[in-house]
Amino acid sequence: MSPTAARHAAGPSLAARRKRAGLLQRDVAARLGIRPTAISGIETESAKHMAERDAYEAFLNGVEKRTQVDNKRSVIAGTTSIGHMLSAQSSIPQSL
């Protein structure tokens, strides 16, 4: 199996991960301090951009981790809000 095929088999591409995070190539490029064309080269696995690939992947890992934490916080906050609403409803007099 070629290195490219192995990377594709290992999981979603960098481009797919970037898009799922709602980022444009220019957003990632600005964050990493490189040209947007370099992001394109990294995503298409151009050999001349492999040095930047690790930084790009680390950046996306951080974005995904923050998104997971934010999602967990939202679920916890939603559960707490529902719990408060249910307890508030149980204290309403039944005669209403």
Distance from C-alpha of 96 to C-alpha of 90, rounded to nearest angstrom: 12
Distance from C-alpha of 25 to C-alpha of 28, rounded to nearest angstrom: 5
pLDDT grade, residue 22 (50/70/90)? very high
Range of the domain at 30: 3-90
pLDDT, the chain, mean:
73
Residue 9 has pLDDT above 70, yes or no: no
Note the pLDDT tens digit of each residue in 26-73. 999 999 999 999 888 888 887 677 778 888 888 888 888 887 777 777
Q: What percent of the chain has pLDDT over 90?
A: 19
Please check whether residue 22 lies inside any domain of the structure.
yes
Place of tokens 């967990």: 72
Please check whether residue 67 lies inside any domain of the structure.
yes
- CATH number, domain of 37, equals 1.10.260
Torsion sign, CA atoms 81, 64, 20, 1: negative
Question: How confident is the model at residue 77, as a pLDDT?
Answer: 66
| Overall domain count for the chain | 1
pLDDT grade, residue 78 (50/70/90)? low
Please check whether residue 69 lies inside any domain of the structure.
yes
Please check whether residue 95 lies inside any domain of the structure.
no
Question: How confident is the model at residue 83, as a pLDDT?
Answer: 47
pLDDT (average), residues 66-81: 68
